[in-house]
């Protein structure tokens, strides 16, 4: 009897040894994603929508080999759910066997539909393999489209590493049509001096020249008033000049109806300036308040300064000079509505930010760059390029969520640009995006089932076996005791019968 019990217990122990604990790491999944985690872009700006190959990478993270892996895109009639042409009835692709930790590639060829809108699209792919339930995997693609309205049509996308465009040299006239004067580096050109008093000796003619000029403010902007301060010098070492009359005239400039209007006009209405006297080799300043016309193109404009004066003998002299005054046009631009897709993302996910920049000013914006910053996002930068006056620049960038942030917290879009002199200016615009914890991203990506924790089966089986063994021993002992008691009763009965006889 004891041998049978021992054999029974050993059999149960051997049976328990055939059970394996469930490994938590083996409860992984088979993942599906794009090659290099890239978001594919389909461009349909041309006449023919773009056809491009989509390479999907299937990776086995289950801890064991899997078989009969099937990947099927979910086709939909509307463009919101499926932005590609449907050219086949079934797009299912199979992988016969995929070893643990291995990856394999599946290649699809898709053609973008011609009527899709510019946006990011979420594609659904059904993934299954033997021994597992079918799951949904999401793949994002980006559609870049031709615009329906010419005024908001974006410029062609710049090259990845564009070379900054060379800026034009200031348009300073080399010669004055009246006097043949050449401008110096200071923007001043001095003409010859003529005498009306009979003095024909060039050596004794007192010559008055313009040595330079300043403006207040230093930068003359179109449509504003400024003070012109001119520095004049009597170059004669022998003769002082007196009774000096200066006249400031700006040549006509402009186009079409404004062609005959002077670029600058005196604020007081008078263009004449009187100066009593300038001694030998002395420098004095004259000034006049002027207004720069609002529609002037950004470039230097000439101002003609004529002068009349006399020497100590009352001999009359006339001279002329020209000044080149640079005029700046302020940069003016507007942004279209800032579009964020999606408006709420989880940590580690990306969102697309796009809008148009309309250059409403009269100057060209050079090397436009856009930077996205914020407490909850990684800093990113987009190069827009050059935007002509009246032109449109397309701002299209991606931001990546780095930490949780509520929608009422603000991020910044900083736009920087250069003028034709290379001076950099910036402007900022705020935007909001909601960032949720990674575990809360239920709508944008399917949540993989948590791997089940391993169950300690062997200890449980051993415990059960021990309990059963104890019960068997107790039962056997009880039966043995009972049998022993019956035998004793039988012996007593035989003894009693023997005594009776």
Q: Using the predicted structure, report yes or no on whether residue 345 has a pLDDT greater than 50.
A: yes
Res 173: pLDDT: 41
* Nearby residues of 150 by Cβ (< 8 Å), 6 or more positions away: none
Domain 23-146 indexed as CATH 2.60.40.10: yes
Please give the Cα distance from 230 to 236 (Å, whole number): 19
Average pLDDT, the chain: 79
Domain 188-328 indexed as CATH 2.60.40.1460: yes
Q: Which residue has the higher pLDDT, 42 or 148?
A: 42
Res 182: pLDDT: 56
Please give the Cα distance from 69 to 61 (Å, whole number): 13
pLDDT tens sequence across 365-421: 999 999 999 988 999 999 999 999 889 999 999 999 988 888 888 899 999 999 877
Quick check: 204 and 239 in contact, CB under 8 A? yes
Res 495: pLDDT: 66
* Nearby residues of 189 by Cβ (< 8 Å), 6 or more positions away: 176, 179, 181, 182, 183, 321, 322, 323, 324
Same topology, domains 23-146 and 150-167+332-449? Answer is: yes
Smallest Cα–Cα separation from 309: which of 270, 282, 274? 274
Q: Which residue has the higher pLDDT, 321 or 492?
A: 321
Q: Where are the domains of the chain?
A: 2-21+455-500, 23-146, 150-167+332-449, 188-328
Kindly indicate the confidence band of residue 258, based on its pLDDT and cuts at 50, 70 and 90.
Answer: very low
Instruction: Determine what percent of the chain is predicted with pLDDT higher than 70.
Output: 74
Quick check: 463 and 469 in contact, CB under 8 A? no
pLDDT tens sequence across 10-48: 555 454 444 444 343 334 788 888 887 777 888 765 566
Instruction: Identify the CATH homologous superfamily for domain 150-167+332-449.
Output: Immunoglobulins (2.60.40.10)
- The CA R_g of the chain, rounded to the nearest whole Å, is 46
Q: Using the predicted structure, report yes or no on whether residue 446 has a pLDDT greater than 90.
A: no
Res 152: pLDDT: 43
């Amino acid at each position: 009897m004891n041998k049978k019990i021992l054999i029974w217990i050993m059999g149960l122990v051997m049976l328990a040894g055939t059970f394996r604990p469930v490994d938590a790491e083996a409860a992984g999944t088979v993942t599906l994603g794009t090659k290099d985690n890239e978001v594919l872009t389909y461009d349909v700006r041309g006449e023919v929508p773009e056809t491009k190959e989509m390479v999907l990478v299937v990776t086995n993270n289950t801890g064991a080999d899997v078989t009969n892996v099937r990947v099927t895109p979910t086709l939909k009639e509307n463009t919101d759910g499926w932005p590609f042409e449907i050219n086949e009835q079934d797009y299912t692709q199979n992988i016969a066997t995929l070893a643990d930790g291995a990856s394999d590639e599946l290649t699809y060829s898709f053609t973008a539909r011609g009527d899709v809108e510019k946006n990011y699209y979420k594609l659904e792919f059904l993934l299954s393999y033997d021994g597992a339930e079918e799951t949904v995997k999401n793949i994002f693609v980006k559609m870049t489209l031709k615009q329906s309205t010419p005024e908001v049509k974006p410029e062609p996308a710049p090259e990845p590493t564009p070379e900054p465009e060379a800026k034009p040299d200031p348009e300073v006239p080399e010669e004055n049509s009246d006097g043949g004067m050449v401008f110096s580096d200071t923007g001043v050109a001095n003409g010859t001096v003529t005498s009306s008093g009979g003095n024909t000796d060039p050596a004794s003619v007192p010559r008055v020249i313009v040595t330079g000029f300043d403006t207040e403010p230093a930068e003359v902007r179109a449509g504003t008033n400024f003070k012109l301060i001119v520095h004049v010098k009597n170059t004669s070492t022998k003769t002082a000049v007196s009774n000096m009359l200066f006249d400031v005239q700006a040549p006509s400039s402009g186009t079409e109806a404004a062609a005959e209007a002077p670029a600058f006009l005196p604020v007081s209405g008078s263009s004449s300036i009187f100066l009593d006297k300038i001694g030998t080799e002395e420098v004095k300043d004259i000034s006049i308040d002027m207004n720069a016309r609002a529609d002037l193109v950004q470039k230097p404009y000439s101002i003609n300064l004529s002068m009349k004066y006399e020497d100590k003998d009352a001999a009359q002299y006339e001279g002329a000079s020209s000044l080149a005054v640079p005029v700046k046009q302020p940069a003016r631009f507007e942004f279209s509505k800032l579009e964020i897709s999606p408006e709420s993302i989880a940590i580690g996910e990306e969102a697309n930010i796009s809008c148009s920049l309309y250059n409403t000013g009269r100057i060209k914006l050079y090397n436009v760059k856009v930077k996205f910053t914020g407490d909850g996002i990684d800093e990113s930068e987009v190069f827009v390029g050059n935007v002509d006056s009246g032109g449109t620049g397309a701002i299209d960038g991606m931001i990546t969520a780095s930490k949780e942030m509520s929608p009422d917290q603000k991020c910044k879009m900083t736009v920087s640009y250069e003028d034709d002199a290379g001076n950099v200016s910036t402007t900022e615009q705020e935007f909001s995006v909601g960032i949720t914890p990674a575990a809360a991203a239920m709508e944008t990506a399917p949540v993989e089932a948590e791997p089940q924790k391993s169950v300690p089966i062997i200890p449980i089986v051993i415990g059960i076996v021990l309990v059963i063994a104890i019960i068997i021993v107790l039962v056997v002992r009880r039966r043995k005791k009972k049998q022993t008691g019956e035998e004793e009763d039988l012996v007593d009965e035989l003894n009693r019968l023997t005594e009776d006889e």
